[in-house]
């Protein structure tokens, strides 16, 4: 008992000291009151998240084998607490003492032994996965590339020690007559037979040794856990509790300073926080994200930048920030007086003067600017880390304070400020597409006509980019055929500001957003349909931050509804093999996966085949995060990688539902045609173009397309 209690006291003291250090780091971060308020406003959602995400292991089970192994280990941690309760009773009150009911009911022993064996099977599975995916063997193709590998192996070893010491202790306990589960604890019962024939004194010594070993392993493991990535055992439920809770990835967060939205008119660069320029600018939730990362590499394995040879790994961004935070914490958590006493050598060790973003900084600029904001990392993260928010906040500081960003993006920003669109074209050209239709389109002058059902938000690409204009005309014609009364803003429409916001230039986003909200409110807009997922996401999820609250639908949602109602009826077969590319801002960001596929399913003759990465695992086209207006100089082009995946399905047509994807995939397909890797008839079209072809009797087949292409 003395040995056990002394060991427990030492272990708890060491673990407690570490916990207090980590708590001090969190307290050193910026406030984020909304995280706490959302839990108070909607405790039901938190309970649901804990049930599904933490206990149900929803995200982990998307990867079935690894998910089942993790579920077994996680539930072993929970259920085997009862075994440690028994060990505590034996330690404090004697080896032959028991808790009535708990330590005498056979089914409890059965559950304990079963989950322990399942945990052992999980450990073997993890061992096999780590050997198979070792970075030494497969390099950057391993999702564990960059992870702290030694910590993972130590953890597996420590969990194994928990299991074998448990069965050793309980086996001896059964042999000495102190295990009252009978044959319910079947494996402990089997182990107990190994000690048949030993004397009572020998068994008592072995039982004491087994008990102390079992407790010692747990105490050593506790100290190790709070000093390692496996702190997620305790922090994951907290991170899930305080995560953002949109349906999908939702809006980019507004710029915050001191826990309040930043007012640009009254902001002081010397007092207010503009994004994240140093580690202590992160909020406590940011530090919680860093501490919760399990280094599993699921985010890395799905990242389009990492998969095309770029330096960005969402996992490594979090780990590098975490390592820097731990190094600098003694400085930024200290008082001003204490900081003055640190020597230059100590400050060097604490990375006090190290840039957060820079050539020799914590995060290299190429890492920061490789992100497409596709959301694959956030979607896959089993502990709900918000990688995009952190990357965006670091971009904001670089753009707004340091004026450091890719030069070609500067042209886009100037065009947005001066012309209201990224291409710098005249606003009068926003209605050119209307003249190519054989019916009139209502253009708003001041107010929407009362019988207008939808304001059609055309978007910059839909109005000004030749390939995207085909989608705009197809949607307008479909709405006309279905008898939907709609109107457009024409020259009064300006860019929603999405490219500026995703680049990090929040000021330009606010300027454009407030201008558009004022226009929409004065026009009396209530229901909006948009063809661009970026516009759709901004109007629906981000404009409420600046006073714009509208019912916004994507054109695929509206068209699918009109087809379901019978107001649009595709009749002419399109005998083609079609693969659909999920736009990130429509799919992962807003969970619209079904409707585009429903539209294709109603077109006679269409044969659909999914790419191996689709829906929530879909692969980006490379245009998001303002990458549409930046050169891609490192590694393989993301759009080329995606088209290579599309070509594996041997498609006659690639379909999508986003003008950016249309452009990016189209460019890559043209490159493939020039190199002879794709047939000349292959094209990329919006799903609305497929629908209008079938409705208007312009169907056809792949051979017919090939004949036209040959001519």
Q: What is the mean pLDDT of each run of 10 residues along the chain (711 residues)?
A: 81 92 92 90 88 90 92 92 81 71 78 94 95 93 92 92 91 82 86 86 86 89 91 92 84 89 82 91 95 94 96 97 96 92 93 95 97 95 95 96 93 95 93 94 91 96 95 97 96 96 96 96 96 97 95 98 96 95 96 96 95 95 95 95 97 96 96 93 96 85 51 47
Query: Which runs of consecutive H residues, i.e. helices, occur in 28-148?
Result: 33-41, 43-49, 64-79, 81-93, 106-132, 135-138
Q: What's the number of CA atoms in the CB half-sphere (13 Å) around residue 607?
A: 9
- Its pTM stands at 0.92
Helices 555-565 + 687-695 axis angle, to 10: 30
Angle at 278 between CA 367 and CA 634, to 5 degrees: 10
Distance between CA atoms of residues 709 and 707, nearest Å: 5
Joined together, the tokens standing for residue 124 give: 């073997």
Residues ≥6 apart with Cβ < 8 Å to 408: 629, 630, 631
Q: Say if residues 455 and 492 touch (Cβ distance below 8 Å).
A: no
| Burial bucket for residue 566 (CB in 10 Å: 0-12, 13-18, 19+) | exposed
DSSP E strands, 472-557: 486-488, 527-530, 551-554
Q: What is the pLDDT of residue 509?
A: 96
Residues ≥6 apart with Cβ < 8 Å to 505: 396, 399, 400, 413
Residues ≥6 apart with Cβ < 8 Å to 510: 264, 497, 546
Q: Please state whether beta strands 700-701 and 574-575 pair in parallel, antiparallel, or not at all (unpaired).
A: parallel
Distance between CA atoms of residues 533 and 543, nearest Å: 14
SS3 for 547?
A: coil
SS3 for 272?
A: coil
Distance between CA atoms of residues 223 and 231, nearest Å: 10
Q: Say if residues 387 and 499 touch (Cβ distance below 8 Å).
A: no
Q: How far is CA 608 from the centre of its chain?
A: 27
Q: What is the pLDDT of residue 175?
A: 84
Phi, psi of 553 (to 5 degrees): -125, 150
Distance between CA atoms of residues 273 and 256, nearest Å: 7
Q: What is the pLDDT of residue 214?
A: 87
């Amino acid at each position: 008992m003395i040995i056990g209690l002394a060991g427990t006291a030492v272990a708890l003291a060491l673990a407690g000291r570490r916990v207090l250090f980590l708590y001090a780091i969190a307290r050193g971060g910026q406030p984020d009151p909304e995280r706490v308020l959302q839990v108070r406003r909607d405790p039901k959602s938190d309970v649901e998240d804990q049930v599904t995400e933490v206990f149900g292991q929803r995200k982990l089970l998307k990867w079935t084998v690894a998910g089942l192994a993790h579920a077994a280990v996680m539930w072993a941690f929970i259920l085997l607490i009862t075994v440690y309760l028994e060990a505590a009773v034996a330690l404090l009150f004697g080896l032959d003492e028991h808790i009535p009911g708990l330590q005498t009911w056979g089914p409890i022993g059965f559950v304990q032994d079963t989950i322990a064996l399942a945990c052992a099977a999980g450990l073997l599975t993890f061992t096999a996965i780590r050997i198979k995916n070792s970075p030494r063997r497969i390099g950057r193709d391993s999702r564990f590339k960059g992870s702290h590998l030694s910590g993972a192996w130590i953890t597996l070893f420590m969990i194994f020690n928990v299991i074998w010491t448990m069965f050793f202790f309980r086996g001896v306990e059964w042999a000495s007559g102190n295990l009252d589960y009978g044959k319910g604890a079947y494996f402990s019962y089997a182990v107990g037979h190994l000690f048949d024939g030993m004397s009572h004194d020998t068994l008592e010594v072995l039982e004491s040794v087994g008990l102390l070993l079992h407790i010692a392993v747990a105490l050593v493991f506790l100290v190790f856990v709070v000093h390692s990535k496996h702190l997620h055992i305790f922090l994951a439920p907290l991170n899930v509790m305080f995560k953002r809770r949109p349906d999908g990835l939702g809006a980019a967060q507004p710029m915050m300073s001191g826990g309040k939205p930043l007012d640009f008119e009254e902001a002081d660069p010397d007092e207010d926080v503009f994004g994240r320029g140093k580690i202590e600018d992160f909020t406590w939730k940011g530090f919680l994200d860093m501490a919760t990362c399990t280094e599993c590499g699921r985010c890395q394995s799905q990242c389009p930048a990492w998969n095309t040879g770029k330096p960005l790994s969402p996992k490594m961004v979090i780990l590098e920030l975490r390592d820097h935070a731990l190094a600098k914490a003694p400085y930024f958590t200290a008082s001003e007086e204490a900081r003055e006493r640190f020597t230059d050598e100590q400050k060097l060790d604490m990375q006090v003067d190290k840039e957060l973003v820079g050539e020799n900084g914590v995060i290299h600029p190429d890492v920061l600017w490789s992100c497409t904001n596709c959301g694959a990392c956030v979607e896959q993260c089993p502990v709900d880390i918000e990688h995009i928010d952190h990357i965006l906040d670091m971009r904001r500081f670089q753009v707004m304070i340091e004026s450091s960003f890719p030069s070609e993006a500067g042209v886009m920003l100037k065009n947005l400020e001066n012309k209201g669109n990224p291409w710098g074209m005249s606003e009068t050209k926003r209605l050119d597409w209307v003249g190519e239709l054989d019916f009139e389109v209502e253009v708003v002058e001041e107010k929407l006509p009362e019988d207008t059902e939808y304001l059609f938000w055309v978007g910059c690409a839909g109005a000004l980019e030749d390939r995207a204009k085909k989608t705009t005309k197809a949607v307008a014609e479909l709405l006309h055929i279905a008898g939907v009364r709609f109107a457009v803003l024409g020259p009064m429409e300006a860019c929603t500001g999405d490219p500026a916001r995703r680049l990090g230039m929040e000021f330009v986003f606010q300027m454009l957003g407030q201008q558009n909200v004022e226009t929409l409110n004065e026009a009396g807009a209530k229901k909006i349909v948009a063809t661009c997922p970026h516009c759709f996401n901004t109007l629906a999820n981000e404009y409420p931050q600046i006073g714009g609250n509208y019912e916004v639908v994507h054109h695929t949602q509206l068209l699918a509804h009109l087809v379901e109602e019978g107001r649009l009826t595709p009749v002419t077969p399109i005998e083609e093999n079609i693969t659909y590319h999920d736009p990130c801002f429509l799919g992962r960001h807003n969970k619209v996966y079904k409707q585009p596929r429903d539209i294709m399913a109603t077109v006679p003759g269409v044969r659909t085949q999914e790419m191996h990465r689709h829906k929530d695992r879909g692969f980006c086209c490379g245009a998001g995060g303002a990458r549409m207006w930046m050169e891609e100089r490192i590694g393989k082009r993301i759009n080329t990688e995606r088209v290579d995946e599309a070509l594996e399905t041997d498609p006659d047509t690639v379909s999508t539902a986003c003008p950016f994807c249309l452009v990016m995939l189209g460019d890559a397909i043209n490159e493939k045609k020039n190199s002879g890797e794709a047939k000349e008839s292959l094209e990329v079209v919006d799903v609305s173009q497929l629908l209008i072809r079938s409705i208007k009797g312009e169907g056809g087949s792949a051979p017919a397309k090939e004949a036209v292409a040959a001519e």
